[in-house]
Amino acid sequence: MDYLYAPWRDEYIKQEREGCPFCYAYENGDLDDELHVLFRAKNCFLIMNKYPYTPGHFMVIPNLHVDAIEKLDEKTWVEMSLLVKKSVKVLKEKLGAKGVNIGMNLGDVAGAGISEHVHYHIVPRWSKDTNFITTIANTRVYSTDFDRIFKKLKSILQDELC
């Protein structure tokens, strides 16, 4: 078996978190650019995924720290759902995504990396965004600069969602 060296994953695998990173982002609005927060609504916010599957992968996160969607009030759930819908439209129409995966991993056993704070994943899909390296080496190739796509997405979302 061959192994590919992917040192950027080491930080994620070995990190010991103290507190919820989503709550930290919510509580520190003055650090939005540093934390890659894309947009803030009344009940939730959009933030780039620090370990994205594809360029432009971000999340819709409620301000309230809850571990189950059934604990969300109706206003928050509706706002999240509308932001997901609008985000998909933006990714397709303004960023040129050919498709979009949306989803939630609810609980550790469902694959949630941060199971204590529910969140939607919004994953734009591009032609040829997966290839043999993903299939046989369990490694993703991120084909664009993270900060560049953050700035572009933030500008588009601010215009489209305000």
Distances (CA, A) of 14 to 5, 8, 11, 107, 138: 16, 11, 6, 20, 18
- What is the C-alpha separation between 69 and 73, in angstroms, rounded? 9
Beta-carbon contacts of residue 40 (< 8 Å; ≥ 6 apart): 29, 32, 46
For 92, other C-beta atoms within 10 Å of its C-beta total 14
> Does residue 138 contact residue 76 with C-beta atoms inside 8 Å?
no
Residues annotated as part of the active site: 119
The tokens describing 122, both together, are 């919004």
